[in-house]
A and B are shown apart, each in its own frame.
Chain A
Amino acid sequence: MNFKTQWRMWAVFGAIVLFFLLISGRLFYWQVIAGDQLRVKASAQYSVEFLLPAARGQILASDGSPLVTNQTAFLAYAQPKDIKDISQFSRSVGSVLSLEDQVLIPKLSAPGRLWVPLAHKVESNIVDTLKSLHLSGLGFEKEPKRYYPEASMAGHILGFVGSDGNGNDKGYFGIEGYYDRELRGQNGRIAVERDVRGAPILIGDENRIEPEHGRTLMTWIDRSIQRAAERRLNEGIDKYGAKEGSVVIADPKTGGIMAMASFPSYDPALFSSYDTMLYRNPTVAASFEPGSTFKVLMMSAALQEKLVTPATTIDETGPVQVGEYAVSTWDNKYHGTINMTEVLQHSSNVGMVAVEKKLGKEKVVRYIRDFGFGEPTGVDLEEELSPQLRKDTDWREIDLATASFGQGIAVTPLQMVRAVGALANDGWLMEPHIVKEIRDEKGRVVAIRPKKIRQVVGSATAKIMTEMMVSAVDNGEAKWAKPVGYRIAGKTGTAQIPVAGHYDEKKTIASFVGFAPADDPKFVMLVTLREPSSSQWGSETAAPLFFTIARDIFSYLGIPPGAY
């Protein structure tokens, strides 16, 4: 073999090797480097993936009727490349969706925009109107929306559904916020191979993950009582010229919240049009000084410790000196020698200071904590907070004295209802709950059982205290408003409001707390009115409102007068 032949042979061999290397390199590029991208492209041509959205769970009242359910709504969107005349499109769509041309046209005309969302949660009737326009480039995608059959009723309890940072539905405040994970469920998805017309190929691959729909929450809320409470509270706020007001009604034996209302409030369906300050539920997220309603708790502590009996007397002859302060009665009238029942009837601050002195610092602070103050109640509402109590070492003599008649101590309305509810429940403090049961789509039920926290006072003490509270209602300042024939245990309260470091004499929070029927309590209720202008006293404002709501409840529950 000569040199020339040999050279040709090597040249051909080299060319083949080079060609082989080029092919290998190209194959490496397509299969390894660009492989994933190509697989996605190919998959997009023959397979299609759908989201199977999970329906958000319902929220039901105690009778099973929905307080919140879902309705079909749509995301309306535009595909600018399919729009023939942008200004005409903008005018037509804008007039139906209340969108302005100046906002819409720049969005639709922006270069490179393939998809423009126009409006979220558009209701079916509006979508039908838009469809009748037969506009090309206008599309719709299902987007569930919350529906409130009872309109704005129980708005503070329910909370609302807004969007998170990624545009997904998220519950905020109330039950929607607290139980967001349970209500939300888990979206599913399905990937199927499709034919040239887009129909699924049955013999092709199918990857399906079923959606897990949100769970349904059954609450303790009785919608009839809730409606009565809201209506009466609204009327009461108007009648007494109050700035704000709240009502909490609970079952003392289970801790179930039957109704919870406060005004001003908001409509969860239109939450974005309200001041964000209204979103928080004041009955669990705002504090007030309870005033004389707190006396029943201090008195029951003294009864439990056997330091007093209903017949124990004190001398109420004038203001009592506590350190450098003189504590007087609310009306500056003094009744001489009075017993403990009369201390409550007259709502005597002087008498309560005497009770506090018998209890002493350690027991006063212990009972305040035992009645559940200084800690959240554990209610299933997202925004609950608890006002801080003083440190045990920070209680001065005057602090203990004022605490005995409910001043200088901050509580939430729910904490107050729970504490007084213990007196209606043989002394047992319960954990309050809005939700009674959680049900999933397969019918499994998780019951949230009533939870006893602790027995603060004994059953006998609770019964004695109940009688003293009945006497306070029958013989106290608010006896004129009491429904005839019913035994109601209760106590009025009128607390001064601290403003800029001092108590304003004219601005008060009027309240009334109680339970009924006294011998077998079906409900415990607290009514508060902030700064009532017709009268500053609880006995003339909150008490009659309490009794009006109580009458509605008696009638609704079929409790006749004299039954207990």
Chain B
Amino acid sequence: MMKKLFRLSAYCMPLVIVILLVVKIVATNTLASFGERVRTVDAKISRIAEENELLSQQVASASALVAIAARAGELGFIEPTKSQMMTMEIDQFPVALK
């Protein structure tokens, strides 16, 4: 029984080795050709990162106080000449009169 097993493995072993070699060659070949695709993806990542940075910069510019003050001025807002504070007692609620 043992002899039979040894003989079978002696025949199978080279076959397994050949199959593994073929698999490795195919895999290597496929992976090697992926390089171009990786380069494209890398370029895309870099481009998106740049766009992201540009958008962040635009958001920061748009929300800067200088920009907000300029826009408020364009829309006709003016600075109050005198601050007015309204205080409300607990039982007081503002109501629309009409």
Residue in contact with A224 in the complex, picked from B28, B35, B65, B80, CB distance below 8 Å: B65
Verify A66–B32 contact, CB threshold 8 A: no
Chain B residues near A150: list those with CB within 8 A: 64-66
Contacts of B44-78 to chain A: CB distance below 8 A: 50, 53-54, 56-57, 60-61, 63-66
Verify A69–B34 contact, CB threshold 8 A: no
Chain A residues near B39: list those with CB within 8 A: 198-200
Contact string against B for A residues 195-237, beta-carbon threshold 8 Å, 1 for contact and 0 otherwise: 1011111110000000000000000000110010000000000
Verify A195–B35 contact, CB threshold 8 A: yes
Verify B38–A200 contact, CB threshold 8 A: yes
Verify B54–A202 contact, CB threshold 8 A: no
Interface assignment of B5: CB less than 8 Å from any CB of chain A? no
How far, in angstroms, from A150 to B34 measured CA to CA in the complex? 45
Verify A149–B63 contact, CB threshold 8 A: yes
Verify B35–A199 contact, CB threshold 8 A: yes
Contact string against B for A residues 50-88, beta-carbon threshold 8 Å, 1 for contact and 0 otherwise: 000000000000000110011110000000000000000
Interface assignment of B83: CB less than 8 Å from any CB of chain A? yes
> Which one of B32, B65, B87 has the highest number of Cβ atoms from chain A below 10 Å of its Cβ?
B65
Interface assignment of B31: CB less than 8 Å from any CB of chain A? yes
Q: Which residue of B lies closest to A193 (CB)?
A: B35
Chain B residues near A223: list those with CB within 8 A: 65
Given A149-B64, A195-B35, A200-B38: A69 and B57 interface contact (C-beta under 8 Å)? yes
Contact string against B for A residues 502-545, beta-carbon threshold 8 Å, 1 for contact and 0 otherwise: 00000000000000000000000000000000000000000000
Minimum CB–CB distance for A470 against chain B, Å: 21
Verify B63–A203 contact, CB threshold 8 A: no
Verify A555–B83 contact, CB threshold 8 A: yes
Residue in contact with A203 in the complex, picked from B28, B56, B57, CB distance below 8 Å: B28
Give the number of residues in A that approach B within 8 Å (Cβ atoms).
29
How far, in angstroms, from A153 to B57 measured CA to CA in the complex? 17
Interface assignment of B89: CB less than 8 Å from any CB of chain A? no
Verify A69–B60 contact, CB threshold 8 A: yes
Verify A202–B31 contact, CB threshold 8 A: yes
Q: Which residue of B lies closest to A194 (CB)?
A: B35
Interface assignment of B85: CB less than 8 Å from any CB of chain A? yes
Verify B87–A560 contact, CB threshold 8 A: yes
Verify A71–B32 contact, CB threshold 8 A: no
Contacts of B6-29 to chain A: CB distance below 8 A: 28
How far, in angstroms, from A554 to B28 measured CA to CA in the complex? 71
Verify A72–B54 contact, CB threshold 8 A: yes
Given A199-B39, A200-B38, A200-B39: A70 and B53 interface contact (C-beta under 8 Å)? yes
How far, in angstroms, from A65 to B66 measured CA to CA in the complex? 13
Given A200-B38, A227-B65: A551 and B31 interface contact (C-beta under 8 Å)? no
Residue in contact with B61 in the complex, picked from A149, A201, A551, CB distance below 8 Å: A149
Verify B53–A72 contact, CB threshold 8 A: yes
Chain A residues near B60: list those with CB within 8 A: 65-66, 69, 147, 149
How far, in angstroms, from A226 to B35 measured CA to CA in the complex? 52
Interface assignment of B91: CB less than 8 Å from any CB of chain A? no
Interface assignment of A151: CB less than 8 Å from any CB of chain B? yes
Minimum CB–CB distance for A402 against chain B, Å: 41
How far, in angstroms, from A194 to B42 measured CA to CA in the complex? 14
Chain A residues near B38: list those with CB within 8 A: 199-200, 202
Chain B contact residues: helix, strand, loop or mixed: helix
Interface assignment of A561: CB less than 8 Å from any CB of chain B? yes
Contacts of A136-157 to chain B: CB distance below 8 A: 147, 149-151, 153
Chain B residues near A24: list those with CB within 8 A: none
Interface assignment of A312: CB less than 8 Å from any CB of chain B? no
Interface assignment of A317: CB less than 8 Å from any CB of chain B? no
> Which one of A194, A223, A555 has the highest number of Cβ atoms from chain B below 10 Å of its Cβ?
A555
Chain B residues near A69: list those with CB within 8 A: 56-57, 60
Verify B64–A203 contact, CB threshold 8 A: no
Verify B31–A203 contact, CB threshold 8 A: yes
Verify B83–A199 contact, CB threshold 8 A: no
Chain A residues near B83: list those with CB within 8 A: 551, 554-555
Verify A203–B61 contact, CB threshold 8 A: no
How far, in angstroms, from A363 to B83 measured CA to CA in the complex? 45
Verify A72–B50 contact, CB threshold 8 A: yes
Interface assignment of A272: CB less than 8 Å from any CB of chain B? no
Residue in contact with B32 in the complex, picked from A203, A227, A561, CB distance below 8 Å: A203
Verify A560–B85 contact, CB threshold 8 A: yes
Chain A residues near B32: list those with CB within 8 A: 195, 201-203
Chain B residues near A560: list those with CB within 8 A: 85, 87
How far, in angstroms, from A202 to B53 measured CA to CA in the complex? 29
How far, in angstroms, from A201 to B31 measured CA to CA in the complex? 8
Interface assignment of A124: CB less than 8 Å from any CB of chain B? yes
Chain A residues near B85: list those with CB within 8 A: 560-561
How far, in angstroms, from A517 to B61 measured CA to CA in the complex? 34
Q: Which residue of B lies closest to A226 (CB)?
A: B65
Residue in contact with B35 in the complex, picked from A71, A151, A200, A227, CB distance below 8 Å: A200
Chain B residues near A199: list those with CB within 8 A: 35-36, 38-39
Chain A residues near B53: list those with CB within 8 A: 70-72
Please list 27 pairs of residues, one from A and one from B, whose beta carbons are closer than 8 Å in the complex, sorted by A's number.
A65-B63, A65-B64, A66-B60, A69-B56, A69-B57, A70-B53, A72-B50, A72-B53, A147-B60, A149-B57, A149-B63, A151-B64, A151-B66, A153-B65, A195-B32, A197-B36, A198-B39, A199-B36, A199-B39, A200-B38, A201-B35, A202-B38, A203-B28, A203-B31, A223-B65, A551-B83, A560-B85
Question: Which A residues lie at the B interface, using CB under 8 A?
Answer: 65-66, 69-72, 124, 147, 149-151, 153, 194-195, 197-203, 223-224, 227, 551, 554-555, 560-561
- 9 extra interface residue pairs, beta carbon distance < 8 Å, beyond A149-B61, A153-B65: A69-B56, A199-B38, A200-B38, A202-B32, A223-B65, A227-B65, A555-B80, A555-B83, A561-B85
